[in-house]
Structure 1
Amino acid sequence: MLSGKLPFLPTRSKLAEAIRYTLNRWDDLKRFIDDGRIDLDTNPVERAIRPVALGRKNALFAGSEGGADRWAIAASLIETAKLNGIEPFQWLRDTLETMVAGFPASRLGELLPVR
């Protein structure tokens, strides 16, 4: 184990620092081993929010702060659908049709684009 190596290393060596750093964060680091769905980096998140960041200029033309808020919600739902392997515009059309048909407002969470 890593902690067994520390007594044999100079206290201020780079390797000892790295081992202490790792041991101090061990519970957080082992999550990557325990759950293979967790990415080691933020690249998937960065790719997912890139269209939102590129489209941020569109919010400038939303007309009001409320319009910008609604645009941000719509963009978030579309990107969430993509991340969950759901075709966003098909989901949006189906969801709007369901809502117009009288789906109860108290159950709208059931229509979110998650699997």
Structure 2
Amino acid sequence: MLRSLSDIARRNGHSIWLFAGSDKGGERIANILTIIETTKLHGHNPEIYLKDVLARIQDHPKDRIAEMLPWNWKPANARYEAA
């Protein structure tokens, strides 16, 4: 995971961090990049994963939130599986 994040920073010449604005902004960027890379590691398209999870999470039961993690995620819509 750390290697993937380092690769992103290297490809972007570390410029991605210039737009963080603050330490908190840097943490937010690191968090979203971690989600994206974890999603990729589990064989999912990050854009499809994020769209699906963000659309469903508000109504998803709190006691089943682990179902939304990249390693447990199953798309709500069958068309996502083909992508």
Give the TM-score of the pair, scaled to structure 2: 0.64
How far apart are the structure 1 equivalents of 2:62 and 2:26?
Answer: 23
Identity of aligned residues (%): 33
RMSD value, Cα: 2.5
* Structure (1 or 2) with the larger CA radius of gyration: 1
How far apart are the structure 1 equivalents of 2:67 and 2:9?
Answer: 24
Unmatched runs of 5 consecutive residues or more in structure 1:
1-43
Q: CA deviation at 1:52?
A: 4.6
Contact 1:62 1:71 in 2 (8 A): yes
How far apart are the structure 2 equivalents of 1:108 and 1:54?
Answer: 33
- AA at the equivalent of 1:90: I
Count of residue correspondences? 70
Inter-CA distance 97–52: structure 2 relative to 1 (3 Å threshold): farther
Alignment of 1:70-89 (within 5 A): 70-89=28-47
Contact 1:52 1:75 in 2 (8 A): no
SS of corresponding position for 1:60: helix
- AA at the equivalent of 1:108: I
Give the TM-score of the pair, scaled to structure 1: 0.49
Give the match for residue 78 of structure 2. none
